[in-house]
Amino acid sequence: MTKATFAAGCFWGVEAEFRRLAGVTATAVGYAGGHTQDPTYKDVCSDRTGHAEVVQVEYDPARVSYEQLLDVFWECHDPTQRNRQGPDVGTQYRSAIFYHDDAQQAAALASKQKLEQSGRYRKPIATEITAAGQFYRAEEDHQRYLEKRGLASCTVELRDPAAPRERWKSPV
């Protein structure tokens, strides 16, 4: 199995989106990209740890490619919003791809460039692409949060108002 790590706003809906993809064998929500060791959800929400809410995806590259994971990532949030997604504001909600090797870095950069050149957005893509560092697993009540509550999706629709409506869906 191979790992991929993405930050696309609140991790609950993003995790559910990746869990639906054939070839994804496991997901975990947590925190990455910050400077505090062993942060809690409360710590991260203080906006003082530097962490993003992330989903770490384990996948079988024989069944799903990293490029397909990138497609899900781009579709499940608005990558033009800096340090926010919809009503959620703070650095923990930033858009970021944390790559685990050179191949992931190259694919992420190429994917971002392709999206920027597509003309889909009026605003620039704000997504950070950075090396994966320490991943801190979130508390157990945050794992599969929506599933545990019998929810199929988050209620907030995240989309760029300038993007064609048919290209967007609820984040889960």
CB of 61 within 8 A of CB of 101? no
Buried b (16+ CB within 10 A) or exposed e, 88-122: bebbbbbbbbbbeeeebbebbeebbeebeeeebbe
Return d(Cα 105, Cα 61) in angstroms, integer.
16
10 is catalytic: yes
Query: Phi/psi of residue 53, each to 5°?
Result: -75, 125
* Structural element, H or E, at residue 103: helix 102-117
H/E element, 43? helix 41-45
Q: How far apart are the first and last CA of the chain?
A: 24
Q: Which positions are catalytic?
A: 10
